[in-house]
Chain A
Amino acid sequence: GAGVSQSPSNKVTEKGKDVELRCDPISGHTALYWYRQRLGQGLEFLIYFQGNSAPDKSGLPSDRFSAERTGESVSTLTIQRTQQEDSAVYLCASSLAGQGIDEQFFGPGTRLTVL
């Protein structure tokens, strides 16, 4: 497919467990973004990658959250010791060059539920 894909689409986990969320951006897009959307809320910026480096991690809520990107392609968002407040939809987006005016193309999201 030509779009941004994310896996899994749904994840249910128990409090205290670690989870990994995956994002496959559009081929050739150098910029990749992670956002979080809590129920009934707007999107919160988490982290931005340009290539494999992350110039802006300012939105990560705590040190339990980390992300990496390899091969200027796939990115993984890891949440350690999950808490109930981590329950949300996690959205990934990619853009061609990471310029401010570039359109961001969003994936369908991963719905995370922490019991």
Chain B
Amino acid sequence: AQSVTQPDIHITVSEGASLELRCNYSYGATPYLFWYVQSPGQGLQLLLKYFSGDTLVQGIKGFEAEFKRSQSSFNLRKPSVHWSDAAEYFCAVGAYNQGGKLIFGQGTELSVKP
């Protein structure tokens, strides 16, 4: 069965510092991988996704993620964090034959200090 693990429940970084949020997945074939962000009072918004090709994908708001098959990971990165990036981040995995059903990780809450 598919599963997603986000090992860090809460991370605090200083504004301007770099960020890496970890995501590990379990799936037998090549998965479809997603990162969503949930800001307070707002719905979930897709940051980026991966399904094939270049393993480094670029997303919105300056985020990127790298798919590493050997490590079953899809970590999210940003070189310089802004205070507006404070939010909850969710990694999710899907599959080509499951109609778009997504399995989500538990989420990582990001706090940004001035």
Contact = CB atoms under 8 A, between A and B. Distances in A.
Interface of A: 3-4, 31, 33, 35, 41-45, 48, 50, 55-56, 91, 93, 95, 98-104, 106-109
Contacts, number: 72
Contacts of B105: 42
Indicate the member of A55, A93, A95, A104 with the most B CB atoms within 10 Å. A104
B98 A56 contact: yes
Query: Nearest 10 pairs between A and B by C-beta?
Result: A42-B104, A106-B44, A43-B104, A100-B96, A106-B43, A42-B106, A101-B51, A100-B94, A98-B100, A98-B99
Interface of B: 4, 6, 32, 36, 42-46, 49, 51, 90, 92, 94-107
B106 A100 contact: no
B47 to A, nearest CB: 11
A103 B32 contact: no
Contacts of A35: 102, 104
A58 to B, nearest CB: 8
Contacts of B4: 42
A31 B99 contact: yes
Nearest to A41: B106
Contact of A100 (B42, B45, B100, B107): B100
13 contacts: A35-B102, A35-B104, A42-B104, A43-B104, A44-B104, A55-B99, A91-B44, A93-B44, A98-B99, A100-B96, A101-B49, A103-B46, A106-B45
